[in-house]
Amino acid sequence: MAGPSGQCDNWLVAEHGLLFGDRIWFVDVRTPARRMAVTTHPEDGVAVISLWHGDSCTATFRLPRRDAARFVDALAQGLSVKDASAD
């Protein structure tokens, strides 16, 4: 986060694998400045979802392996519902 001096303070994101690891990026449909990244960390049993605005990470969420299938299922179920207004 930018402090009073305008300098960016994202040092917490520099945890091993989070800043420089392999990421899968997703761009917000409203603006390309808003992005989401997903990294997997099998050694820790988590996937890390991070939200970005420009080059600044604004939030992270560590999704435990045990919840990953439920998360994917929620996305699939929610997006599989046919929108009646689309017809």
pLDDT, mean of each 10-residue run, the chain (87 residues): 44 47 90 95 96 96 96 94 63
In the chain, the number of structural domains is: 1
pTM, entire model:
0.67
63 within domain boundaries: yes
Cα separation of 49 and 58, whole Å?
11
pLDDT of residue 22: 84
Both structure tokens of 28: 């917000």
5 within domain boundaries: no
For residue 43, what are the domain limits?
11-81
pLDDT of residue 46: 97
6 within domain boundaries: no
pLDDT of residue 47: 96
Nearest to 57 by CA among 29, 30, 18: 18
32 within domain boundaries: yes
87 within domain boundaries: no
